[in-house]
Amino acid sequence: MAEEGIALPPYGYSMKRSRRARIVATLGPASRAPGMVKALAQAGVDVFRLNFSHGTHEDHAAALKAVRGAELALKRPLGVLADLQGPKLRLGKFKDVEIDIKPGHKMRFDLDATPGDATRVQMPHPEIFKALRTGMLLLLDDGRVRLRVNERADDWADVTVESGSKLSDRKGVAVPEAVVPVSALTPKDREDLAFALRIGVDWVALSFVQKAEDMAELKQIVKGRAACLAKIEKPQALLELESILDYCDGVMVARGDLGVELEPEEVPVAQKQIIRAARQRGVPVIVATQMLESMTASPAPTRAEASDVANAAYEGADALMLSAETASGDYPLESVGVMSRIIERVEKDPMWPSLMDAEHAGMDDFDADALVAAARKAAEAQSTACIVVFTTLGGTARRMARERPLQPVLALTPKPETARRLALVWGLETRLGKEPTSLEDVTEDAVNCAVEYDMAQPGQRILILAGTPFGAPGAANLLRLAHAPAKAKR
């Protein structure tokens, strides 16, 4: 059951981040124990990922419970992201488990379940055969084997090896030049999704999204019970990126599988394309995969990895993700600490503000966007300590984050689910607060919370962004200036 009874402590000491970009960490055998989860949150993790490609439902339920416990102990909202496995297209089996191949080797793929040999093997996916065309490229085993289609029918394809030396049982199949007509939600995904929603996750990530309809289907099932995130790891998704973003609460640059189907030189370009499109819309964007990969077995990263993390922070990504580094690696805490320090160093670079502004999102023609843009501009005055945003469902807070203000942003919400979803968003320090009922309530809560959470000193200017009528979800229509009191009142 979802943890409906757990409320975040709205007041009192609460750990504050000293950086804007957020950190997502994957939980696994090396990290899902309650003590380790709390330590990871203290070290800098804002959102914890449950990878449904591995582990049991019991494992994931225990991990979520540990996150909720850490949240209560640290008095800081923590998000939980359920990452669905998605469709896995694989070859069948070989009689001898593995065959030797070389460039020029010819063989057939078919639907026959008989164990294969060097001349033929099963590919149990009729939908792939229907999508293939003569001359198309096939990638096997994460791109280690490249094949070209010579001839095809609805139940077989003859191929020639272009590169590779060995091929073994159950290797993955990728078709980078075609949209394969398979649902992004497999029967396993549907079962995992129902379970994830039942235990109360905050985000759901859909793997191998190819088109907007994939996300529309997910949103229809979820019905607002969690925020929905698209993993961009197919070339076809890049072609449909804008329409996919129409259905997204968040997006992930999933560079592992994206790098299988794209040439290496195309992956950094795709990363920038996705980040830029997401930032323009104010959709939170995560950069993922191999960020500190060497730290699965080493206490320090390579210099190239440090640069990779820094570049994602310079690009303005909302969050950076650790996978095996925290799930199964030998140095989960060290990995989080290193990532956090790299981000902090980037954000101290005198050039960083101008880089943020260079990718500044264009303003939409809505009153709320105009008001948020005005708040960002007004906050640039040196005497402004912070911006306080009142938000019910998170829309106003996300609009503020899209502006990438350099001043701290405190987002106050009466809803725990909103606070947890906003844990993924750039620059927001989100806390639970009571529902305001008047302008006086808004002003008093804003200035008191700003002082109590150490985001303003007595006498400093605070900008307040809220919406009226109070207590009803809607766009911001109120911008107010106030000053922090000598002492917070509670």
What is the four-CA torsion angle of 332, 335, 341, 342, rounded to 10 degrees?
A: -160
420: closest CA among 31, 68, 29? 68
* 231 among known catalytic residues: yes
Q: 70, 152 in Cβ contact below 8 A?
A: no
What residues contact residue 5 under an 8 Å CB cut-off, 6+ apart?
Answer: none
User: Hey, which residues does 98 pair with through a beta bridge?
Assistant: 168
Residue 158 CA to residue 154 CA, distance in Å, equals 12
* 102 among known catalytic residues: no
Residue 315 CA to residue 220 CA, distance in Å, equals 32
Q: How far is CA 386 from the centre of its chain?
A: 26
Q: What are the tokens at 30?
A: 């090396």
* 398 among known catalytic residues: no
Annotated catalytic residue: which of 20, 49, 76, 152? 49
* 399 among known catalytic residues: no
Annotated catalytic residue: which of 231, 399, 402, 421? 231
287: closest CA among 302, 304, 268? 268
Q: Alpha helices, DSSP H only, in 75-143?
A: 126-131
Annotated catalytic residue: which of 75, 90, 120, 130? 90
Annotated catalytic residue: which of 26, 289, 391, 392? 289
Instruction: Give the DSSP per-residue string, 386-426.
Output: EEEEE-SSSHHHHHHHHT--SS-EEEEES-HHHHHHGGGST
Kindly report the number of other CB atoms within 10 A of residue 72's CB atom. Answer: 15
Kindly report the number of other CB atoms within 10 A of residue 58's CB atom. Answer: 8
Catalytic residues: 49, 90, 231, 289
